[in-house]
Chain A
Amino acid sequence: MSEFFHQYFDFTIMGDHFSEILEGFLRNLLLFAVAVVLALLFGLFLALLRQLPGKKFMPLRGLTIAYIDVFRAIPLLIILFLISGGVPYLNFLPKDIRIPHWFGQPDPFWYAVVALTMVYGAYMAEVYRAGIEAVPGGQVEAARSLGMSHGQTMRHIVVPQAVTKIPAPMLNEMISLLKDTTLASVIAYSESLLLGREVLAETFNSSAVMLSGLMFLVVVLPLARLVDYLIKRNQGKITRGSHIEVA
C-alpha cells in the first residue's frame, strides 16, 4: 500500500516539478480557451445551417448533417493524427498555413485547435439543435405569420430562448473539451500530461502525472457541480415544453 502512495503521491517529486507541470497545465488551459470559443461559434454556425428551411437549402442541410455525423463518429485522436500527419503535406496550401506558428504558438497547438474545433463543433451543434427544437414550434408559426423572415425569427425568437436551455449540456461538452486537450500530448504539444510523462521517464515515478490529473480535478470538479446544479434547476422549472436531454 505504501508503494501505491510512493508511486502516485511522492510529494517530493510533485514539489520539485510543480511549476513545470503547472506551466504545462496552463498550456492545456490556453488550448482549451482558444478551442472552446471556436467550437462554440462553429457549432452555432452548423446548427443554424441545419435549420435553413425550404427545398432550395436541402443540399446545404444535408452536407451539414453529414459533417456532424462524420465528426461525431470518428475519434478525436484519429482526427488529430490525420491533421498533424497530413496537413503539412498539402502542398497547395502556403507553408504558413500548413505548418502554422501564429501568435507564437507552435504547430501542434494549432493542429489541436483545429481538431478540437472540428469535432466539438459537431457535438455542440447537436446541443444547440436540441435547444432550438425545444422552442415550441407554435411560436415560430406565430412569428412567421406576423411577417418575420426565417432569419428574424431565429434571431429574435428562437435563438434567445434556445440558449437559455442549453447551459447544462453545453457545459458538459466544454468540460469534455478541456479534458481532451491532453490528447495534444501525442503530437508533442508540451502540455501537462506530456511533461508529467517526461518526469515519469526520468524518475520512474508517476507522481507528476498524478499532479497533472489533480490540477484538472481542481478545475473541473466545481464546473461539474455547476452542471449538476443547472440540470436540477432546469428540471424543477415549469417552462412550456422546455425539458432538454443532457446528451
Chain B
Amino acid sequence: MRKTRLAALFAVLLLALASVAVAGCGGGSDSTSGGGGSETSGGGGGEPLSVGSDIPYPPFEQGKPGNYTGFDIELMEAIAEKIGRKAEFQDTSFETIFRDVQQGKFEAVISAATITDEREKAVDFSNPYYLSEQAVLVKEGSSIKSLEELEGKTVGVQQGTTGQELAKEEIGGAEIRPYPEGPDAVNALKSGTVEGVVIDAPVAQNAVEKSGGVEIAEKVPTEEEYGIAVGQGETELLEEINQGLKEVQEDGTYKKIYEKWFHLEPPKAIFSATHEAE
C-alpha cells in the first residue's frame, strides 16, 4: 500500500513540474539550443521574419528575451520593416547557426557573422552590412602588445569564429581555449585563466568600454565583412533583404544605428559593398 501511494505522489509531483514548465514556455516559439523566447522589440507590422542570432555578443546582440538589443538587432528590425515584415529573434548557439538556417530553423541569421567560403557552402550571404577586423584583447597593463607575442600562451576564443581560425593559424604554439560564448572568453581573460583573447574588434572595443580592466593590444586588419545569411537557394528572400539593407542605408537609418552603437561614422566603403551570392 505504501509503495503505490509513494508512486502516486511522485507522479503528481512530476505532473505539477511539467505543467509549470509548459505554462512558462507558453507563448514562446520553439526553443533552440540557446534557449530563450523569440520576441520583437521594435515596431513594424507584417508577417514575422524569424531570425537566428547568437546572443549575447555585445555590441551586436545582447539583452534578454523580449528585450533584445544591439547593432545587429536594430539593423535587422529596420530592414524587416522595409520589406514589410516583423523581425522575431531566436537565441541560438553560434556553431550550429549556419546549419540551422540551412535547415530552415529560422529564415535568416544576423550574428556578426563573417562571410567566408566555408560558410557559403551551407548558406547564402547578403551584401556586407559591416566591415570588421579582429583584435587582440589583453588584461589592462599586460606586457603583450601584439598577436605574435601570444606565442606559447593561453588564448581564449569563441568556438566556430573567424577569431578562432586566426588564432590557430597565426599564433605559434599557443594553447587555444574555445569557449561556447564570446563573453566567456572575455571573462576568462579577466579572471586570468587565459592571457589573451582574439575576437572581433568591435566586440573587443565594447569589452574595453563596458566591462573594463581589459585593453586592446593590437588590431588585426582581416578585412572581414559581416553578412546576413539565409538558406542556400533562398534567392527571393535574399533579394528582399539586400533591397531592405540598401534602403536602410540610403535613408540614414543605418548611419543612426551605427553611430549609436559604435560612436563612429560608418565607413564609406560599406555603402557600396556588394557580395555575389555563391
Q: Which of B98, B175, B188 has the most CB of A within 10 A?
A: B188
The answer to whether B193 and A201 touch across the interface, beta carbons within 8 angstroms, is no
Q: Which of A98, A198, A204 has the most CB of B within 10 A?
A: A204
Q: Is B169 an interface residue (CB 8 A)?
A: no
Interface size class of B (residues with CB under 8 A): 20 to 34
A71 to B10, CA, bound (A): 23
The answer to whether B95 and A200 touch across the interface, beta carbons within 8 angstroms, is yes
Please name all residues of chain A whose beta carbon is closer than 8 Å to the beta carbon of B178 when the two chains form the complex.
188, 190, 194, 198
Q: Is B152 an interface residue (CB 8 A)?
A: no
Please name all residues of chain A whose beta carbon is closer than 8 Å to the beta carbon of B179 when the two chains form the complex.
186-188
The answer to whether B175 and A106 touch across the interface, beta carbons within 8 angstroms, is yes
Please name all residues of chain A whose beta carbon is closer than 8 Å to the beta carbon of B187 when the two chains form the complex.
85
Closest-CB distance, B152 to chain A (whole angstroms): 13
Please name all residues of chain B whose beta carbon is closer than 8 Å to the beta carbon of A95 when the two chains form the complex.
192
The answer to whether A198 and B160 touch across the interface, beta carbons within 8 angstroms, is yes
Closest-CB distance, B154 to chain A (whole angstroms): 7
Please name all residues of chain A whose beta carbon is closer than 8 Å to the beta carbon of B95 when the two chains form the complex.
197-198, 200-201
Q: Please encode chain B, from 143 to 177, with 1 for each CB lying within 8 Å of some chain A CB and 0 for all others.
A: 00000000000101001100000000000000101
The answer to whether B193 and A84 touch across the interface, beta carbons within 8 angstroms, is yes
The answer to whether B99 and A198 touch across the interface, beta carbons within 8 angstroms, is no
The answer to whether A201 and B159 touch across the interface, beta carbons within 8 angstroms, is yes
Q: Please encode chain A, from 96 to 131, with 1 for each CB lying within 8 Å of some chain B CB and 0 for all others.
A: 001100000011100000000000000000000000
The answer to whether A89 and B160 touch across the interface, beta carbons within 8 angstroms, is no
Closest-CB distance, B278 to chain A (whole angstroms): 16
Minimum CB distance partner of A200 in chain B = B95
Please name all residues of chain A whose beta carbon is closer than 8 Å to the beta carbon of B99 when the two chains form the complex.
200, 204-205
The answer to whether B192 and A108 touch across the interface, beta carbons within 8 angstroms, is no
Please name all residues of chain A whose beta carbon is closer than 8 Å to the beta carbon of B160 when the two chains form the complex.
197-198, 201-202
Supposing A201-B95, A204-B99 touch, asked if A188 and B188 sit within 8 A by C-beta, the answer is yes
CB within 8 Å: A-B pair count: 54
Please name all residues of chain B whose beta carbon is closer than 8 Å to the beta carbon of A213 when the two chains form the complex.
none
Please name all residues of chain B whose beta carbon is closer than 8 Å to the beta carbon of A194 when the two chains form the complex.
159, 178
Closest-CB distance, A96 to chain B (whole angstroms): 12
A90 to B269, CA, bound (A): 47
Supposing A200-B96, A201-B159, A204-B99 touch, asked if A106 and B191 sit within 8 A by C-beta, the answer is no
Interface size class of A (residues with CB under 8 A): 20 to 34
A84 to B190, CA, bound (A): 12
Please name all residues of chain B whose beta carbon is closer than 8 Å to the beta carbon of A85 when the two chains form the complex.
187, 191
The answer to whether B180 and A99 touch across the interface, beta carbons within 8 angstroms, is no
Minimum CB distance partner of B187 in chain A = A85
Q: Is B118 an interface residue (CB 8 A)?
A: yes
The answer to whether A188 and B191 touch across the interface, beta carbons within 8 angstroms, is no
The answer to whether A204 and B191 touch across the interface, beta carbons within 8 angstroms, is no
Please name all residues of chain A whose beta carbon is closer than 8 Å to the beta carbon of B184 when the two chains form the complex.
188
Closest-CB distance, B252 to chain A (whole angstroms): 36
Please name all residues of chain B whose beta carbon is closer than 8 Å to the beta carbon of A201 when the two chains form the complex.
94-96, 159-160
Q: Is B205 an interface residue (CB 8 A)?
A: no
Q: Please encode chain A, from 159 to 194, with 1 for each CB lying within 8 Å of some chain B CB and 0 for all others.
A: 000000000000000000000000001111010001
Within 8 A of A (CB), among B84-111: 94-96, 98-99, 102
Q: Is B122 an interface residue (CB 8 A)?
A: yes
The answer to whether B191 and A89 touch across the interface, beta carbons within 8 angstroms, is yes
Closest-CB distance, A193 to chain B (whole angstroms): 11
Supposing A198-B160, A198-B178, A201-B95 touch, asked if A88 and B193 sit within 8 A by C-beta, the answer is yes
Please name all residues of chain A whose beta carbon is closer than 8 Å to the beta carbon of B122 when the two chains form the complex.
204
Q: Please encode chain A, from 28 to 50, with 1 for each CB lying within 8 Å of some chain B CB and 0 for all others.
A: 00000000000000000000000
Supposing A201-B94, A201-B95 touch, asked if A88 and B192 sit within 8 A by C-beta, the answer is yes
The answer to whether A98 and B192 touch across the interface, beta carbons within 8 angstroms, is yes
The answer to whether A202 and B191 touch across the interface, beta carbons within 8 angstroms, is no
A198 to B118, CA, bound (A): 13
In the complex, 30 of the A-B residue pairs with CB atoms within 8 angstroms, ordered by the A residue number, are A84-B193, A85-B187, A88-B191, A88-B192, A88-B193, A89-B191, A95-B192, A99-B191, A106-B154, A106-B175, A108-B177, A108-B193, A185-B180, A186-B179, A186-B180, A187-B179, A188-B179, A188-B184, A190-B178, A197-B95, A197-B160, A198-B95, A198-B160, A198-B178, A200-B95, A200-B99, A201-B159, A204-B98, A204-B102, A205-B99
Give 10 nearest A-B pairs by CB, closest first: A201-B160, A201-B95, A88-B191, A188-B177, A204-B99, A204-B122, A88-B192, A188-B179, A107-B193, A99-B193
Footprint of A on B, CB under 8 Å? Answer: 94-96, 98-99, 102, 118, 121-122, 154, 156, 159-160, 175, 177-180, 184, 187-188, 191-193
